[in-house]
């Protein structure tokens, strides 16, 4: 209790006073305060239930490598390499890229020849064979022509298209000068086209020939993946500069990694081919050098989104609080008093909106800030892989969860004013947020309607929690059923915020028109 004098001394004016009055109304209802605490606890509880049991598949990767940018990556390839201690260049002719695919419709052991679109046979420069290391590569691919890629997330198309064959070989070259590595390609080994430049750390690096192949992804129907193995045939590598030692073979990453697997009966390896011009190599590999994505291309792993599914409990609880915060005044007749004290109705509504938004933001961001590290620790404890994302994206998910709940609370408050009944308001809130999410991401709706639902309804706002990345250079099925929102994180949030503001404006309008 404060004395009258204290109250008078601290009495602010106008909007602040209205806000203070609303805050007093809010904090003096014990159920509302308990509700906020309960909402946060329930959000955290979800992640504990989700990670209750340990990984039953010992083959499932316990930890995914993390790339230079902080993202989870696949880094598994067959590598014939030498040490390059300073500046130098590596030039090679790729004469074939072939492969074996498991036939998804055939029985076990049925295979057919073929390569996946992003199967790779090329040359690479990397400071270390540890998965997740920085690199620069120029590579022939199964269906995307010659590409220059570096540090997993960067991908550039070159001028050469098609698959290399003995009749149409593709020449690849990497030139290291200081920290810079420049990639070139050529059809004949004499006329070269520069593709681009990227950097690798200084000092000794491993450079050489590599082959890898992601699993074959069925992009139609339910989506699934099946093993694929690729074999690249190379001519004799031409070297200039400071090279050391002889050629050695390594399978980088212990097996084919999370996004690839060897077709039964095939293994990674290499063979030196003697021909007229000297020694060339045939290298067989599976896996990928690429960021990890969701869907059939990814393995079983926990993501930021799955840790945050408990947000729905928080959303429903806070929605109930916000709707009651509006509707309770109608029911108890307090509104007459409130409006007598503050005749400016817009100001009362504004104060209520600011208050519920602030409370919801604190609850949401707080719960998310606890849930993410807790979930990660729990997942590691039970031997599940975690799809690591850069710190900036984690921060976005935490703040985004707070903003998401804040916008949802404003929406619930406005629905409470518009519909006057908190039962109807809550159901409307759940029907436009939780239900579309469940229908779209639960795989109940086909892709088309599911994507429209996540573009138009307030459920689009959940995109702000999206941490699953999508990359052009990784083939997957980027649909809601695999956890992919059609809108970018802040774009999706803007849809939700738009709905909340529109509802608030409508509420302000009817509040002015209606009797208390």
Partner 1 sequence: MNTVVLGRACRAEWTKLRTETGFRWLLVGLVAVTVAVGAASCDGARSVGDPARLALSGVTAGQAVAVVLAVLSVSGEYGSGLIQLTLSAVPARTTVLAAKAAVLSATVAVTGGVAVLGSLLLGHLLLAGGPALTDGSSLRAALGSVLYLVLVTLLALGVGFAVRDGGVASGTVLALLYLFPLLTHVVTDPWLQRQLARVGPMPAGLAVQATTGLDRLPIGPWTGLGVLALWTGAALLLGGAVLRRRGA
Residue 457 CB, shortest distance to partner 1, in Å, is: 12
**Whole-angstrom Cα Rg for the chain:** 29
Footprint of partner 1 on residues 184-223 (CB under 8 A)? 220-222
Query: Which residue, 406 or 419, has its beta carbon nearer to partner 1?
Result: 419
User: Rounded to whole angstroms, how far apart are CA atoms 25 and 46?
Assistant: 30
Residue 427 CB, shortest distance to partner 1, in Å, is: 5
CA distances from 311 to 95, 162, 391, 487 (A): 53, 47, 20, 19
CA distances from 245 to 83, 84, 115 (A): 7, 9, 33
Residue 331 CB, shortest distance to partner 1, in Å, is: 5
Query: Which residue, 208 or 310, has its beta carbon nearer to partner 1?
Result: 310
Binding test (CB under 8 A) with partner 1, winner from 1, 5, 24, 49: 49
Give burial (CB, 10 Å; 0-12/13-18/19+) of 166: exposed
- Count of CB atoms situated within 10 Å of the CB of 58: 7
Residue 497 CB, shortest distance to partner 1, in Å, is: 23
SS3 71: coil
DSSP for 101-133, please give it.
EE-SSS-TT-EEE---TT-EEEEEEES-SSTT-
Query: Which residue, 212 or 422, has its beta carbon nearer to partner 1?
Result: 422
SS3 220: coil
- Positive or negative, the CA dihedral 80, 82, 83, 87 is negative
Site string for partner 1, 309-348 (x = CB under 8 A): x--xx--xx-xx--xx--x---x-----------------
CA distances from 444 to 50, 253, 282, 433 (A): 21, 37, 46, 16
Residue 22 CB, shortest distance to partner 1, in Å, is: 18
Binding test (CB under 8 A) with partner 1, winner from 62, 377, 444, 505: 444
DSSP H or E segment with residue 182: strand 180-186
User: Rounded to whole angstroms, how far apart are CA atoms 314 and 469?
Assistant: 25
248 strand-pairing partners: 81
User: Rounded to whole angstroms, how far apart are CA atoms 61 and 304?
Assistant: 17
Footprint of partner 1 on residues 448-467 (CB under 8 A)? 448-449
User: Rounded to whole angstroms, how far apart are CA atoms 51 and 378?
Assistant: 6
Decide: is 300 part of the binding site for partner 1 (CB under 8 A). yes
Decide: is 245 part of the binding site for partner 1 (CB under 8 A). no
DSSP H or E segment with residue 294: none
Rounded to the nearest 5°, which phi and psi values hold at 196? Answer: 170, 180
Query: Which residue, 21 or 430, has its beta carbon nearer to partner 1?
Result: 430
Query: Which residue, 162 or 300, has its beta carbon nearer to partner 1?
Result: 300
Query: Which residue, 177 or 423, has its beta carbon nearer to partner 1?
Result: 423
User: Rounded to whole angstroms, how far apart are CA atoms 110 and 436?
Assistant: 41
Residue 498 CB, shortest distance to partner 1, in Å, is: 22
DSSP H or E segment with residue 440: helix 434-441
Residue 28 CB, shortest distance to partner 1, in Å, is: 17
Residue 63 CB, shortest distance to partner 1, in Å, is: 16
Interface with partner 1 (CB under 8 A), residue total: 49
Query: Which residue, 252 or 441, has its beta carbon nearer to partner 1?
Result: 441
Query: Which residue, 134 or 482, has its beta carbon nearer to partner 1?
Result: 482
Site string for partner 1, 411-430 (x = CB under 8 A): -----x----xxxxxxx--x
Residue 358 CB, shortest distance to partner 1, in Å, is: 20
Query: Which residue, 22 or 288, has its beta carbon nearer to partner 1?
Result: 22
Residue 324 CB, shortest distance to partner 1, in Å, is: 5
Decide: is 59 part of the binding site for partner 1 (CB under 8 A). no
What tokens were used for 382? 């039970």
* Segment interacting with partner 1 (CB under 8 A) among 168-176, 392-400, 439-447, 464-472: 439-447
Interface with partner 1 (CB under 8 A) = 46-47, 49-53, 55-56, 220-222, 300, 302, 306, 309, 312-313, 316-317, 319-320, 323-324, 327, 331, 384, 416, 421-427, 430-431, 434-435, 438-439, 441-442, 444-449
């Amino acid at each position: 209790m404060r004395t009258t004098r204290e109250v008078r001394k601290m009495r602010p004016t106008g909007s602040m006073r209205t806000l203070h009055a609303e805050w007093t109304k809010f904090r003096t209802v014990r159920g509302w305060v308990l509700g906020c605490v309960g909402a946060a606890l329930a959000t955290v509880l979800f992640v504990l239930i989700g990670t209750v049991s340990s990984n039953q598949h010992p083959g499932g990767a316990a930890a995914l490598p993390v790339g230079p940018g902080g993202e989870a990556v696949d880094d598994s390839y067959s590598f014939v390499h030498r040490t390059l201690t300073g500046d130098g260049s590596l030039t090679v002719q790729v004469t074939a890229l072939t492969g074996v695919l498991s036939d998804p419709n055939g029985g076990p052991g049925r295979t057919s020849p073929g390569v996946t679109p992003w199967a790779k046979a090329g040359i690479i420069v990397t400071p270390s064979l540890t998965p997740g290391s920085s690199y620069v590569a120029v590579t022939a691919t199964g269906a995307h022509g010659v590409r220059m890629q570096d540090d997993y997330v960067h991908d550039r198309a070159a001028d050469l298209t098609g698959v290399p064959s003995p009749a149409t070989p593709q020449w690849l070259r990497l030139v290291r000068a200081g920290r810079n590595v420049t990639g070139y390609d050529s059809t004949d080994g004499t006329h070269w086209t520069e593709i681009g430049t990227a950097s690798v750390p200084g000092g000794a690096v491993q450079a050489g020939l590599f082959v890898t192949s992601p699993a074959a992804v069925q992009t139609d129907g339910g989506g699934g993946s099946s093993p694929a193995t690729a074999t690249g045939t190379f001519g004799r590598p031409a070297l200039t500069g400071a090279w050391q030692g002889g050629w050695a073979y390594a399978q980088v990453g212990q097996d084919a990694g999370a996004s690839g697997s060897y077709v039964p009966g095939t293994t990674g390896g290499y063979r030196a081919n003697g021909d007229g011009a000297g020694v060339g190599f045939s290298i067989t590999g599976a896996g990928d050098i690429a960021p990890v994505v969701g869907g059939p291309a990814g393995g079983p792993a926990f993501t930021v989104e799955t840790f945050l599914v408990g947000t729905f409990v928080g959303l429903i609880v806070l929605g109930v609080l916000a709707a009651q915060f509006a509707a309770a005044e109608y029911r108890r007749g307090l509104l007459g008093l409130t409006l007598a004290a503050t005749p400016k109705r817009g100001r009362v509504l504004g104060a209520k909106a600011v208050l519920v938004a602030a409370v919801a933001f604190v609850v949401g961001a707080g719960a998310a800030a606890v849930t993410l590290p807790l979930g990660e620790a729990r997942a590691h404890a039970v031997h599940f892989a975690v799809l690591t994302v850069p710190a900036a994206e984690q921060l976005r998910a935490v703040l985004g969860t707070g903003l998401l709940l804040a916008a949802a609370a404003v929406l619930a408050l406005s629905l409470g004013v518009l519909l006057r009944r908190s039962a109807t308001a809550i159901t409307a809130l759940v029907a436009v947020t939780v239900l579309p999410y469940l229908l779209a991401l639960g795989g109940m709706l086909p892709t088309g309607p599911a994507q429209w639902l996540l573009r138009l309804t307030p459920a689009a706002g959940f995109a702000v929690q999206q941490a699953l990345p999508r990359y052009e250079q990784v083939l997957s099925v980027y649909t809601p059923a695999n956890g992919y929102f059609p809108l970018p994180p802040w774009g999706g949030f803007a849809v939700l915020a738009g709905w909340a503001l529109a509802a608030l404006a409508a509420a302000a309008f009817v509040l002015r028109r209606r009797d208390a």
